[in-house]
Amino acid sequence: MPAANVSDLSQVHPLATVAEDVEIGPFTVIGPKVRIGRGCRIANNVTITGDTSLGEFNRVFPGAVLGTEPQDLKYVGELSYLEIGDHNTIREFATINTGTEANDGRTIVGNNNLLMSYVHVAHDCVLGDSIIVSSGAMMAGHVEVLDHAVIGGGAGVHHFATIGRHAFVSAMSGLRTDAPPFLICEGVPAKVRGVNVVGMKRHGHTHDQVAAVKETFRILYRSNSNFRDAVKELEDLCTVFEEVREIVDFLERMEQGRKGRFKELTRPY
């Protein structure tokens, strides 16, 4: 058990595993199956329960609730887990549920993510690294968000949707399909509207790479070509730019899925 960094007004279960340098504020409750790695700072009035693990140097702000049971009517008390990596920031009143048997019982949050206030991450979601989720955004069950994606405030993401790398889902959007990498989705229902130029530049993509993605967007979404013809037009760009190949591969998986969501093929019912 830790000593000086834990408030006397907190409730840390004796069976919890907490690194010695962790800070835990007053009125925070830590359950018996919780594991918290070194350098984490847990503010006041936080609840961390269930079979939940936090890696190193995470910050959790007041009112956040982590590791509660999945909000899924099929859940009947089986083992379920929440796994959170390193260097994440989880802001006020964010909620993250554990998983269900459909995803090996696991909800997973990677590293270096920012989940702003009132964000909801439902059961079986899998978040990669360096993702930003703005205040009030909600992810339904089985959503997957790949590295460097951004979800705007108040956006809603449908069950089993996948958000590609460097994709941008605009605020207040309702995303019912997968969101292709490097592109902007906006509206209710959300549609592809453009290229995430700002995001690409921020993460070091070159002028030529951005231009190639712009041309890919034009051919796929602003020409008269159907999808198969557009893919043929993009063959040369695919051989030169990994970003273009990634977009095409992603869209082909969407085509194989149901209702524009590739992961629907994994739905067990």
Q: How confident is the model at residue 267 (pLDDT cuts 50, 70, 90)?
A: confident
- 90-130 tens-digit pLDDT: 999 999 999 999 889 999 999 999 999 999 999 999 999 99
- Give mean pLDDT, residues 205-232: 97
- 54-66 tens-digit pLDDT: 999 999 999 999 9
Q: What is the pLDDT, as a whole number, of residue 18? A: 97
| Residue with the larger pLDDT of the pair 29 and 1 | 29
Residue 152 scores a pLDDT above 50: yes
Q: What is the pLDDT, as a whole number, of residue 103? A: 83
Residue 2 scores a pLDDT above 60: no
Catalytic residue among 72, 124, 147, 178: 124
Write the single-letter amino acid at 189.
Answer: P
Catalytic residue among 120, 123, 142, 158: 123
The residues spanned by each domain of the chain are: 11-196, 202-256
- Give mean pLDDT, residues 76-87: 97
Q: What is the pLDDT, as a whole number, of residue 102? A: 85
Percent of the chain residues topping a pLDDT of 70: 99
Q: What is the pLDDT, as a whole number, of residue 1? A: 46
| Neighbouring-strand partners of residue 179 | 163
Residue 268 scores a pLDDT above 50: yes
Looking at domain 11-196, its CATH architecture is 3 Solenoid (2.160)
- Which pairs from 23-30 meet CB under 8 Å and 24+ separation? 25/62
Burial per residue of 107-144, b for 16 or more beta-carbon CB atoms within 10 angstroms, e otherwise: bbbbbbbbbbbbbbbbbbbbbbbbbbbbbbbbbbbbbb
Q: Is 141 a catalytic residue?
A: yes
Q: What is the pLDDT, as a whole number, of residue 22? A: 97
Provide the pairing of β-strand 191-195 with 183-186.
Answer: antiparallel
- Give mean pLDDT, residues 28-53: 98
Q: Is 77 a catalytic residue?
A: no
Catalytic residue among 31, 50, 55, 141: 141
Q: What is the pLDDT, as a whole number, of residue 231? A: 97
Residue 4 scores a pLDDT above 60: no
State whether CATH 1.20.1180 applies to domain 202-256: yes
Average pLDDT, the chain: 97
